[in-house]
Amino acid sequence: LAYGFAVTSTSTQGLDAPEVYANEFRNQILDFIATNPPRFGVNWACTMDVAIRAANWLVSYDLFHAFGARFDAEFERELMRSVYQHGSHIIANLEWNNEAVGNHYLADIVGLLFVSAYLPRAAETDLWLAFSVQELVKEVGHQFTPDGANFEASTSYHRLCAEMVVYATALVLGLQAEKRSALTSYDHRMHRAQPLLHPAPIPLYSGVGQHEPSPFPDWYIERVGLMAQFTSNTTRPDGHIVQIGDCDNGRFMKLHPSYVPNDPQLPEDQLDHSHLASAIGALLDAPTAQSGATFEHVDSCVVRRLAKKSRCGADTSPSQSQSTTRGEASGEFAVTPGDLREGLHLAAYPSFGLFIYKSPRVYLAIRCGRGDINQIGNHAHNDNLSFELALDEISLITDPGTYVYTPSPEMRNRFRATAMHNTLAIDGREQNDWSEGREGLFSLRDRSKPKVIACQLTHFVGEHSGFGSPHRREISITQSGIHARDRCEAEGIKKIVFHVSPSLKASLARNSTSVDLINDSHTYRLSSADGEWSIAESYYSRGYGSLTRTPVITLKTASHSAAWAIDI
């Protein structure tokens, strides 16, 4: 609506007059306030929802004002009274406990930050501002590992949480001096919530290139930059991120949706995360945080304005000790013309459990890590030693995604099961267990003890013990593809599973010794001297509630060891 107001303020050809958009915004806000009184009904049941709603209301209101809209005094009073009620609800219902916190609590404090930053100064709102800044810094240190990856073992939750961080950081950096002084003069004894608020002042730091001191130390600024680098590294050549763990389309602020190209139904492209890296690049004004996008996203413009053109310019290049990237492939093996390994490098995220090999012609992402750092497994899947593969910018082997949560417990469990990932499965057994019933839908008991045995520039070895006897997988990048071997001495028939990209067709050889993956210009062959190949129909989900049929290839063997390859 704010964008509509902005466009029609310049030209109304074929569109409604500007005041139509402003009135619609006003009426929708008032309608919500009238029909959803505080603490009554589903829209107050989850503090995270309350916090995200408040932040989006305020940014929309801010955009209208930036584009020249003016509202009547009665509406302004009702809006800000409701925003205050949102803040009161958040501080009284924080989703925090001593044992573990996650993205819900991060949303709570970021929403409270927006509320307190926009409301006039008072003893209470000063407390909210100081508390939310204190907790923002703490939670970035807790919920993001030193290499910039989110701790919940999900690439999509990395986007959600990093969005919260980038908008909150911009907002704090852009605070007016009078508002910023609240960080040094609040009375912590008035704070009644848990966790505790430390006595004033909030520590302030003068990072490189910052015009004013800020509450963000150098490690914080560096970590925000590395969040963008993680997004860039997990983006495949087709512009989509690797799906690790849950994908539920969760967003903090959706300023400009991306859509699936050439699809007449215009579904959102939930796996395009380029806006996030672009926004962080605008915040930090550092080339290391740029996404390589061909245009500047709307998020970049809004973040830059929230930050008053950013007072944050510290060097976000990862230090040598924290670098996730291992050097170029030249000199480590003989490179011939057309070799897939030419220009190969490795981005390793051991805390998250993701190892990414990239060259101009190959993209290989291997999962080997714990369910999450809290060991709860809220959004983790049984995906150890699974992988995604693209060759010559064509996605071949993909993770099927998530599909849904509570609407279908059966499908929820199916999509996070071992056999729904590109790894070795044994009928009736899982890498990690979950409790039956509704209470088990957001927990995954981590018993698989995954570990990396070797992580070299063209060779990876990892294993897990989820079947009792270890399953070890070796993968090598060769001149023409990848060669691998799976070993597991656990009893039972082994199935090595490959979920095929929906854009490809799969064709089984007559003697069942190989499978061809075919598109308009290339053929890729899965082959093995061990076991028997088969093709069945499975599912792929590109976002929450989305379901597409796609082939799944299985190499079935009774042996304790099976070698296989994928070649052009």
Q: Where are the alpha helices (DSSP H) in 176-297?
A: 177-180, 182-185, 218-233, 274-284
In the numeric block, the tokens 């703490």 are attached to: 138
Whether 326 shows a pLDDT value over 50: the answer reads yes
* Phi–psi pair at 364, nearest 5 degrees: -130, 120
The pLDDT value recorded for residue 427 is 86
Average pLDDT rounded to a whole number, residues 544-560: 96
Q: Which of 481, 293, 303, 469 is nearest to 387 (CA)?
A: 481
Return the SS3 of 332: coil
Q: What rounded mean pLDDT belongs to the chain? A: 91
**pLDDT class of 240 with cuts at 50, 70, 90:** very high
User: Do residues 126 and 185 touch, judged by C-beta distance below 8 A?
Assistant: yes
Return the SS3 of 212: coil
User: Residue 488 has which token pair?
Assistant: 């597991």
Whether 330 shows a pLDDT value over 90: the answer reads no
The pLDDT value recorded for residue 566 is 98
User: Do residues 500 and 519 touch, judged by C-beta distance below 8 A?
Assistant: no
The pLDDT value recorded for residue 315 is 43
Mean pLDDT is lowest, of 58-72, 373-387, 463-477, for: 373-387
Question: pLDDT for 269-320, tens place per residue?
Answer: 999 999 999 999 999 986 544 444 556 789 999 999 999 864 444 444 444 3
Question: pLDDT for 105-148, tens place per residue?
Answer: 999 999 999 999 999 999 999 999 999 999 999 999 999 999 99
